[in-house]
Amino acid sequence: MIELKEHITASGEVLLYNGHPDLKMLDALALGEGDIWHSSLDQSFKNVFPEIIYQTVVYFWYANDFDALEKSVSWRINPNAFVIRKQVWDTFGGFDLDYENIQTSALDFGFNTLRYQGVIPLYIKGLFEGIIEEVNISTKDIYTFYIKNFKRSHSIYMLFRRGFYKFNDLHSFRYANRKFKFKEKTSVLKPRGLQPIQGTPKVSYIIPTMMRQEFTLNLLNDLEHQTYKPFEVIVVDATPEKSRDELLYNAHKYSFKVIFKWQTTKGSCRARNEAIDLCTGDYIVFGDDDIRIQPQFIENHIRLLQTYHAEACNGLDIRADHQQQDLNNLDEKLKSLGESRWKVGAAQSFSNANSCVSRRVVNLLVGNDINYDGGYGEDSDFGLSITKLGVTVLHNPFSVNLHLKPPVGGYRFWGQQAGIKGKKRKQQPWELDLPVKRIVPKPSPTIMYQLFKHFDDKQRKEYNIKYFIFYFTKAKLVDIPLRILKFPLRLLQFNKSIFYAKNLLALGKRTK
């Protein structure tokens, strides 16, 4: 068993540690969002266990460690030099000692508590000395990690990617598969009790909308009934002139400032950026037009951020069964979630339907990347871009929206043109000056653009391999012969997507 020393902060928080941290830093760190702190990225642990790519590919923000940051989310813990809240250590019972190497045990602990259990492990530059350590993860430990943490199919996939013909890999897979089983992650760190709002921070609320004026009015009504009202609401409406009813909007009906702006540009990213330019609040809440929110929605966003001393969070998005559902239905859905709802931790996705970000951070990003207009992925790009600044995006289970998802209206009206060929097709923003002709790119070029923008060559390679594996394995058995016949076309579509993605990449991020 690992023996940890104890340190009590000025606020009374009990911390456990191994190694020789700078104890003077711990008082401030304990007040923040983190639960585990280390300097492992300066101790040879940066991007260790690259085999995680065979499972996470590009679907886990923290698969790779971030560069040149003073602070960042990182699960790669050095077992000889880390600090942890005693409550966290006791909740999860410490490291899993089934591994050959305590280093793998620490990686297992960091990965699972981050990904599944609501814990925030943070790299902190200078907390520990940057002593170089030798990291040695055995092949047995790699397969044991996979068997314990993922479905068996992931271990098999890794075996084939690493080389099933290699004796060491095959032997290690059989060893782990025989000796260990999948480990359930049922324990979750309880959220901290939310503190009352300190001061009177101003909140700006942004609503981009298109051909959904009635839904927007319902959301404005929900905002009118907030326990902590927004200082201002900016509605950017792209409804075509012939389809809009300007009399429906009346800024004088509300107890807060409302700006209604008719959008003349195209795209939800441009709409949000136009709204950001009009915001004057300390925090900006991003919301879709087709959601309903509870009265404590804004209050709980601010209370969470202040309680955790954080600057960004992503709320809980609940999908409605149909567009007529209301807040009573949302209450029922939340009851059915039970205790599984209550997890904070570092967010692993981001939604512009329900998020709250400090104005300082939004200013650092300048705005949304308009290269995504007409496609998909703008939400993930915005959230991941915040994370790559060294700002932790929290998951917020206290601020919940009911997402109605009506079949008509919204900015996807433009994006739906992407699958059309011929003269009826309306050109998408990502096509730039090279309109799509006979070969319609798949997947969406904006998704491919995100892979080039945020992920490395190895991750893209695994994405490509899995994309075509799923192309065949997700099909019904009777459809596989047809898939084989269509494979050359799908390959052309895939390469066409890469072509457009690289064109966007050459332009770089754009906000106007």
Cα–Cα dist 17/8, whole Å: 11
H helices of 368-510, where? 378-387, 412-415, 445-454, 457-473, 480-507
Predicted confidence (pLDDT) at residue 22 exceeds the cutoff of 90: yes
pTM given for the model: 0.94
Predicted confidence (pLDDT) at residue 394 exceeds the cutoff of 80: yes
For the segment 25-29, the average pLDDT, to the nearest whole number, is 97
- Cβ atoms 289, 209 nearer than 8 A: yes
Of the candidates 236, 282, 233, 277, the residue with the CA atom closest to the CA atom of residue 253: 233
At 455, which amino acid appears? Answer: F
The DSSP secondary structure of 219-240, one letter per residue, reads HHHHHHT-SS--SEEEEEE---
Query: What does the pLDDT read at residue 419?
Result: 59
H helices of 309-456, where? 327-337, 359-365, 378-387, 412-415, 445-454
For the segment 381-402, the average pLDDT, to the nearest whole number, is 98
For the segment 170-178, the average pLDDT, to the nearest whole number, is 97
Query: What does the pLDDT read at residue 408?
Result: 79
Query: What does the pLDDT read at residue 418?
Result: 59
Q: Which helix (H) or strand (E) holds 319?
A: strand 312-319
3-state SS, residue 361:
helix
pLDDT band per the 50, 70, 90 thresholds, residue 266: confident
Cα–Cα dist 386/310, whole Å: 12
Predicted confidence (pLDDT) at residue 45 exceeds the cutoff of 80: yes
For the segment 64-110, what is each residue's pLDDT rounded down to a tens digit?
999 999 999 999 999 999 999 999 999 999 999 999 999 999 999 99
Q: Sign of the C-alpha dihedral, residues 376, 428, 412, 473?
A: negative
Ramachandran region of residue 422, left (φ > 0), alpha (ψ -120 to 50) or beta? Answer: left
Mean pLDDT of the chain: 95
Predicted confidence (pLDDT) at residue 348 exceeds the cutoff of 70: yes
H helices of 248-391, where? 268-276, 297-308, 327-337, 359-365, 378-387
The CATH number of 203-403 is which of 3.40.50.970, 2.70.70.10, 1.10.3720.10, 3.90.550.10?
A: 3.90.550.10
Predicted confidence (pLDDT) at residue 415 exceeds the cutoff of 70: no
Query: What does the pLDDT read at residue 413?
Result: 63
What percent of the chain is predicted at pLDDT more than 70? Answer: 97
Of the candidates 227, 412, 244, the residue with the CA atom closest to the CA atom of residue 235: 244
| Residue tagged 């191994």 (tokens) | 18
Neighbouring CB atoms inside 10 A of 445's CB total 29
For the segment 351-374, the average pLDDT, to the nearest whole number, is 95
Task: Delimit the CATH 3.90.550.10 region(s) of the chain.
Answer: 203-403
Q: Phi, psi (5° rounding) for residue 431?
A: -75, -20
- Cβ atoms 504, 447 nearer than 8 A: no
Query: What does the pLDDT read at residue 130?
Result: 86
The full length of the chain comes to 512
Predicted confidence (pLDDT) at residue 417 exceeds the cutoff of 80: no
pLDDT band per the 50, 70, 90 thresholds, residue 131: confident
